[in-house]
Amino acid sequence: MKILVDENIPQAKEAFSKFGEVKLSHGRQITNEMLMDIDALIVRSITNVNEKLLHNTPVRFVGTATIGTDHIDKEYLKSKNIFFADAAGCNSFSVAEYVITAITNIYNTTNKTFSGKRIGIIGYGNIGTKVAHFAKALGFETVINDPPLERKNGKEKFCSLNEALGCDVVTFHVPLNKTGIDKTYHLLNEDNIAQIKSGSLVINTSRGPVVDNSVLKKRLIDKKDINVVLDVWENEPNIDRELLQLTDIGTAHIAGYSLEGKLNGTFFIYEKLCKFLEINCNWTPDYPDIKERIIDINPSSEIEKILFEATQKIYDITFDSSQLKMLLNADVVNPDKYFDQLRKNYSIRREFNNYTIRTNDGNNKLNVLLKELRFNVI
């Protein structure tokens, strides 16, 4: 069996070599000609898998080590009886922790408190539910918008898109649907961006085209009255550098790039290939040790300050932003390649549950809150 795998999928050789010969390639460079002797194709979100790519190839298994599937022509795969597997949920904690880290950073910068604020969570799947759980623990009132789930479960838990857009924090966690009743392409657009109130924070970690980038840029230029965190962009990797300059935090589509999130993606597809081939699974990801697991904090500080200090020691989101904003320098010759290189060479980031916060305090309320965020507490 021959398997072609995106070279940026971690531990791919170790995971898939048991099935046969593994070939690695840059995801944007995979061509139809390369697949003429390939049985299984495993990609990330940057490879468009469709008839053009797969025509007349022996590929019978396609896996994407990502939660999104808008780069996959699933109807074509079905018509050709090609088995498809995604990694839904693999990096949901990673993205949720990115969102909480971003909110914490912006709220410390602007001297705002969590308590009494409303967060509009647009999309209530694997990621949105985790963001809601974390946000509630911090004192936010959660306002949920998810039309498909509302139709399925009733209106009790859900609200309109406009109500969600009117919150203090607005965060997007939807798939990219370009058509249909649940179209999410340009979900934030010229018609509804006025619903975003002055002083609010907008975060997009879903897909770039969910937010009309030109409309958001115009709002930032005209009014300069909102904070913006973008991890995803229209036309990646050729992103709008003017919009990048206007963001408070801008990163290179890495919200889900914790080591756990990436290795979960590898493992999920490995398990599904085992199932497809009807063989037993015996590989597990290898996680390196963390040298500095314990974080000391001052329990008498406000929760905004405590969480800021803790997240800074785990993940400096502003460093990732500064790296992407190097694109604003005139001497960056190939912006597209630079964007991809930031993703390929992304440094190891671990999730909250790997760390222990030492409070040296009997403040049970604080300890419970930190545990809700998946920290260990002593």
* 236 part of the active site: yes
Task: Give the DSSP H or E segment for 245.
Answer: helix 241-246
The 3-state DSSP class for residue 295 equals strand
Q: Which of 44, 186, 219, 253 is catalytic?
A: 253
Phi-psi region of 114 (alpha: psi -120 to 50; beta: other; left: phi over 0): alpha
Q: Which of 71, 173, 207, 343 is catalytic?
A: 207
Distance between CA atoms of residues 133 and 373, nearest Å:
8
Give the number of residues written for the chain: 378
Do 49 and 41 contact (CB within 8 A), yes or no? yes
- Across the chain, which distance is largest between two alpha carbons, in Å? 66
* 133 part of the active site: no
Distance between CA atoms of residues 228 and 76, nearest Å:
37
Residue 354's contacts (CB-CB under 8 Å, 6 or more residues apart) are 290, 293
Distance between CA atoms of residues 257 and 67, nearest Å:
12
Give the sheet arrangement for strand 294-296, strand by strand: 294-296, 356-358, 376-377
Distance between CA atoms of residues 42 and 80, nearest Å:
17
Q: Which of 97, 234, 236, 351 is catalytic?
A: 236
Q: Which two tokens stand for residue 303?
A: 């929760």
As to burial, measured by CB atoms within 10 angstroms (0-12 exposed, 13-18 middle, 19+ buried), residue 170 is buried
Strands (E), 123-178: 141-145, 169-172
Give the sheet arrangement for strand 40-43, strand by strand: 21-25, 2-6, 40-43, 61-64, 83-85
* 14 part of the active site: no
As to burial, measured by CB atoms within 10 angstroms (0-12 exposed, 13-18 middle, 19+ buried), residue 79 is exposed
With tokens 């709008």, the residue in question is: 240
Hey, which residues are catalytic here? 207, 236, 253
